[in-house]
Homo-oligomer: A and B are copies of this chain.
């Protein structure tokens, strides 16, 4: 079934707040197999709101509106939906009671608030236990459902989860089932090239790629009547993707990040990691530490930005720095070994490069980053040429560093 989300609120159009409600509702709807085809945001303006509602009713099966259910005169969502449906607003005794009891526990009710007890005639009322605006479900003549929900996320989310989601699930016959593969170490266009034939031939399941910094996420989605049928439709495509990308896939879990994969692999092997960061300045460590429970796998890291720090804190040789320079494979290698030793870690990672915008030379241009990973007596050093601004170069560096740790652990697993 096709869904349109309409967010009502001038504060969104002014850029005062980010529309996280739309992201929440989209994810929820997609999760139960609905197709969200449009998201529209309009301000508190009668004409434009009415226009948006009428258009939505003409082109989807379910319209979900958030916001504009407040007590003030510029809250117009109910009024405009009623108008679009050719219905009246009537006072709902039950909602009035709910509002009265809400205010009993809090400040004085203002006359404005009784506006929130008005409902669209013939609609279904959804009690709001976290605020005074009830949710409403009203039906248009053509059968399209209009679902009106309050804007504050802490009212919207429980109302949706407890009452709207079960309602939507009950409307459907076919469901969507989707799986994800997240890929590291292959660029977006290269991924598209490798699966161009699959994308070209897609019907059910469908494939979509999403480019992230240093990663590509591929989503496979099947439409099916049952989870079993969904699984059956998804399995061959997932097998194909695994065959084509192999170890480049770092997870098949929707919510799992690269750093979470690395932390759980380290934990599985009972190993610790430590970073010596120059141009990334602590970002790699911070990514690991953002994973709850990171203390199992990381005790310490070093930001060794100056040459002096590289030498004194993690023992990079002065001769190495003089002969090859701070940005060199030799320095990256010594940083990796040195930090593992200084932090008593099993795996040491050294990151040194030129993030720009200044500091580049013809031999060592901006974007040149060496990343070394030392594990036992072995070290691998990768030379990278990243594009983009300072922040992007650094983010890409971190991504490659984390991926190299992952690959080092894969080698261990397979050996």
* Interface residues in chain A, defined as those with a beta carbon under 8 Å from any beta carbon in chain B: 7, 10-20, 22-30, 36-45, 48, 52, 70-74, 102, 105-107, 109-113, 130-131, 152, 154, 158, 187-190, 192-193, 196, 199-200, 208-211, 217, 219, 275, 277, 279-286, 288-290, 292-295, 298-306, 308-309, 313, 342-343, 356-358, 365, 367, 385-392, 394
Contacts and interface: CB of A to CB of B under 8 A. Distances in A.
Contact of A48 (B27, B38, B188, B308): B38
B300 A289 contact: no
A288 B283 CA distance: 11
A300 B306 contact: yes
A289 B306 CA distance: 11
Contact of A38 (B41, B154, B286, B305): B41
The 8 closest A-B pairs by CB, nearest first: A281-B289, A282-B282, A15-B27, A15-B26, A300-B309, A282-B285, A299-B306, A301-B303
A14 B37 contact: no
A386 B130 CA distance: 11
Given A38-B42, A71-B188, A112-B189, 14 more contacts: A14-B36, A40-B40, A71-B189, A106-B385, A112-B192, A158-B389, A280-B289, A282-B283, A282-B285, A286-B394, A300-B305, A300-B306, A300-B313, A301-B302
Nearest to A28: B15
10 contacts: A15-B23, A15-B25, A15-B36, A16-B210, A16-B217, A18-B18, A112-B192, A154-B388, A281-B301, A301-B303
A282 to B, nearest CB: 3
A11 B283 CA distance: 26
A161 to B, nearest CB: 12
Looking at chain A's contact residues, the main secondary structure is mixed
A61 to B, nearest CB: 15
Nearest to A21: B18
Nearest to A282: B282
Nearest to A295: B305
Most B C-beta atoms less than 10 A away, residue of A36, A74, A303? A303
B74 A208 contact: yes
A72 B386 contact: no
A163 B154 CA distance: 39
Contact of A26 (B12, B40, B282): B12
Contacts of A23: 12, 15, 17-19
A385 B293 contact: no
B292 A281 contact: no
A65 to B, nearest CB: 14
Nearest to A152: B211
Most B C-beta atoms less than 10 A away, residue of A187, A358, A392? A187
A303 B282 CA distance: 8
Contacts of A71: 188-189, 192
Contact of A105 (B188, B208, B357, B367): B367
